[in-house]
Amino acid sequence: MKATLSVDLTNEISEIDPRLWGSFTEHLGRSIYEGIYQPNHETADEDGFREDVIEAVKKLKVPLIRYPGGNFVSGYNWQDGIGPKDQRPVRLDLAWRSVETNQFGLHEFIKWCQKVGATPDMAVNLGTRGIDEARNLVEYCNFPKGTYWSDLRRKNGAEDPFNIKVWSVGNEMDGDWQIGHQTAHEYGRLVHETAKAMKLVDPTVELVACGSSNHQNETYGSWEETVLENAYDDVDYLSLHQYYDNFDDNLAEFLGKSVDFDNFISEVVAISDAVKARKHSKKQINLAFDEWNVWYHSMGADDAQEPWTQAPHLLEDHYDFEDALLVGSLAITLLKHADRVKIGCLAQLVNVIAPIMTNTEGTPSVWYQTIFYPFMQVSNYGQGVALTPTQTVPTYQAKNYEVPYIDSIAVYNSDMDEVVVFIVNKAKEQTEFSMSIDSAQLNQIVEATQFAGYDIHQTNEDQSMTLESLKTVHIDGNHIDAQLEPLSWNMIRINVKA
Ligand code: AHR
């Protein structure tokens, strides 16, 4: 099979917002406890944070982390997680039917973010709480001093404000599983009023309103429209969530889901812009794809979990090779929409549908899932400017979509003088990939890697699956050729002179 990609350094989709490669950590299962926080672990630092996990998270270079939920946030009292730890209440977490000790809370999260080099995306509870709690939380976090909430923060050990910029206004409020689920109209009105109060406390905050929790939800479309009709001027981003499964064990259908992901983004852009036009607004709403991943392997085990325990093993998907291919393909799709998707959160980060897994004791203490590798490469090298791709690629017919066998995108990083190309080969045969890069002189290949050659259902508990060098890449003038392995994720970094 043959595929071509042409790009020109002067033909840009958009600057890539570094926050596209964010992630998410929720009080859920072993994401926080036994994940990032475990004071009795041999690698725990003075704050009880696992240093082995900090090192792994740093490899992913996540710039932004959404917290504390997810479904959890819709029943959460943030005040439970501040102040002396021995005085914090133990509560029922109704979302995940678990026991929450509150030993990890707001201050711990901020400190941990600083240690991993990320900024927070703080979610507020619009399920059981509302305007008052949200504006108090902004005051607690961002107001310098001299008021009840800001002085309480100082009393609790943080003299300087946290200055949290990005805030999620609720979580999946369209879902009937959500505590405090609302109609689009109710939620739209509440966002309007909550956002007003939050921005009165700190006009510099950026707010994310909940879009649909998935695009199969029956209110999808009208939900986005109604929420934006009510709150267009108050918020900055609209969220999208989507998880994919392969319960049918159908590889071609599964890998074709990137087309569905692509359509979902285009549709939400269209809906947002229709509301913009109707309102004669000059403002553009951008998108926050703040939950995306594969999620299904653990669902049976989760149903069998005993409720009301601390840090239960929930949502512990062990990802296989085909999952890594789809995650790579979804990441490429996000880059194709870099003009409108400014925030992305791979859901989640540690233990819960996550690229990083921990063992509570023994070795390895941390292990990388298959999806770790493509995500690590896009988060480290999917930076700069996304270039408009012109592709010639054979396609196959899935149930609902025509799917290109090759997904690819190139980015230009002028700081590093590099063009970086990401490619997924979804075909079960080798593919001759040839690429032209115009408006640049191609100097040399800096790095070329592939993730290939594994059984589609192989998982990585034993850490035997790794990136390898892609040896078939050649430069000839402004052309690059490579032989791509069947079913492979590939990255090629080229030193260029613009
Ligand atoms: O990420 C797991 C859950 O998926 C989140 O809590 C919720 O927002 C979504 O349904």
Q: How far is the centre of ligand 1, averaged over its atoms, from the C-alpha of 454 (Å)?
A: 30
Q: What pLDDT does 366 receive?
A: 97
Q: Which of 241, 296, 348, 352 to mutate to test the pocket of ligand 1 (most atoms within 8 A of CB)?
A: 241
Residue ID of nearest Cα to ligand 1 atom 3: 70
Q: How far is the centre of ligand 1, averaged over its atoms, from the C-alpha of 26 (Å)?
A: 9
Q: How does DSSP classify residue 297? A: T
In ligand 1, the atom with minimum distance to the C-alpha of 28 is 6
Residue ID of nearest Cα to ligand 1 atom 6: 70
Q: How far is the centre of ligand 1, averaged over its atoms, from the C-alpha of 170 (Å)?
A: 12
3-state SS assignment for residue 93: strand
In ligand 1, the atom with minimum distance to the C-alpha of 69 is 6
Low-confidence ranges of the chain (pLDDT < 70): none
pLDDT in tens, 333-354: 999 999 999 999 999 999 999 9
CA-closest candidate to residue 381, choices 415, 425, 342: 415
In ligand 1, the atom with minimum distance to the C-alpha of 172 is 8
In ligand 1, the atom with minimum distance to the C-alpha of 175 is 10
Region for residue 275 given its phi and psi (left: phi exceeds 0; alpha: psi -120 to 50; beta: otherwise): alpha
Is 261 buried (19+), middle (13-18) or exposed (0-12) by CB count in 10 A?
buried
CB 99 within 8 A of CB 93: yes
Which pTM was predicted? 0.98
3-state SS assignment for residue 265: helix
What's 105-137 look like in SS3?
CHHHHHHHHHHHCCEEEEEECCCCCCHHHHHHH
User: Cβ < 6 Å from ligand 1: which residues?
Assistant: 26, 69-71, 171-172, 213, 291, 347-348
307 prior amide bond cis, ω within 30: no
Residue ID of nearest Cα to ligand 1 atom 9: 70
Residue ID of nearest Cα to ligand 1 atom 8: 70
Q: How far is the centre of ligand 1, averaged over its atoms, from the C-alpha of 342 (Å)?
A: 20
Distance CA 472, CA 85 (A): 56
Region for residue 417 given its phi and psi (left: phi exceeds 0; alpha: psi -120 to 50; beta: otherwise): left
Q: What pLDDT does 361 receive?
A: 77
Helix (H) or strand (E) holding 379: helix 372-381
Residue ID of nearest Cα to ligand 1 atom 7: 70
Sign of CA dihedral 260, 264, 270, 271: positive
Q: How far is the centre of ligand 1, averaged over its atoms, from the C-alpha of 70 (Å)?
A: 5
Q: What pLDDT does 360 receive?
A: 82
Q: What pLDDT does 362 receive?
A: 78
In ligand 1, the atom with minimum distance to the C-alpha of 26 is 6
Q: What pLDDT does 190 receive?
A: 98
Q: Which of 26, 121, 293 to mutate to test the pocket of ligand 1 (most atoms within 8 A of CB)?
A: 26
Any idea which residues carry the catalytic annotation? 172, 291
Q: What pLDDT does 479 receive?
A: 96
Q: How far is the centre of ligand 1, averaged over its atoms, from the C-alpha of 345 (Å)?
A: 12
